[in-house]
């Protein structure tokens, strides 16, 4: 391999990395903007916002994980399945759900 080949490979890899980084930044900016426009649907705060999947059955992936390698379009589809909840309300919802499930368990047995 010549020096030029090595340099070409190096630049190709760098272009790829930059492309990935720019896409990640665009996706992050999109999510940030979305959250600015969508405070917690339960208590109205704009702090510590999270995405809550309304129906866990259609949940594909955590939004935070999608950011690293999905397109804005994929993120948008996933966000559409979600309500915005702050960390506190999100925890409450999951605790209530868990209680419901436990109750159902005891009534069926
Ligand atoms: Zn809240």
pLDDT tens for 78-102 read 899 999 999 999 999 989 888 777 7
C-alpha separations of 91 from 20, 74, 78, 88, 96 in Å: 32, 25, 20, 5, 9
CA of 51 from ligand 1 middle (Å) equals 11
For residue 67, name the pLDDT band (cuts at 50, 70, 90): confident
CA 106 – CA 102 distance, rounded (Å): 6
CA of 92 from ligand 1 middle (Å) equals 9
CA of 17 from ligand 1 middle (Å) equals 37
CA of 100 from ligand 1 middle (Å) equals 20
Q: Which two tokens stand for residue 35?
A: 């959250």
Give the per-residue pLDDT at 34: 95
CA of 23 from ligand 1 middle (Å) equals 30
Mean pLDDT, the chain, integer: 87
Rounded to two decimals, the pTM is 0.74
- Residue 104, pLDDT > 90, answer no
CA of 36 from ligand 1 middle (Å) equals 14
In this structure, are strands 49-53 and 82-86 parallel, antiparallel, or unpaired?
A: antiparallel
Contact (CB, 8 A) for 85 and 93: yes
CA of 53 from ligand 1 middle (Å) equals 15
Q: What mean pLDDT do residues 54-77 have? A: 80
Give the per-residue pLDDT at 109: 47
């Amino acid at each position: 391999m010549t020096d030029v080949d090595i340099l070409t490979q190096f630049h190709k890899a760098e272009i790829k990395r930059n492309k990935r980084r720019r896409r990640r930044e665009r996706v992050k900016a999109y999510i940030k903007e979305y959250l600015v426009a969508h405070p917690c649907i339960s208590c109205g705060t704009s702090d510590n916002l999270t995405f809550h999947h309304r129906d866990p059955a259609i949940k594909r992936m955590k939004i935070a994980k999608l950011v690293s390698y999905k397109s804005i379009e994929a993120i948008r589809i996933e966000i559409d399945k979600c309500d915005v909840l702050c960390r506190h309300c999100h925890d409450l919802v999951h605790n209530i759900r868990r209680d419901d499930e436990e109750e159902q368990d005891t009534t069926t047995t």
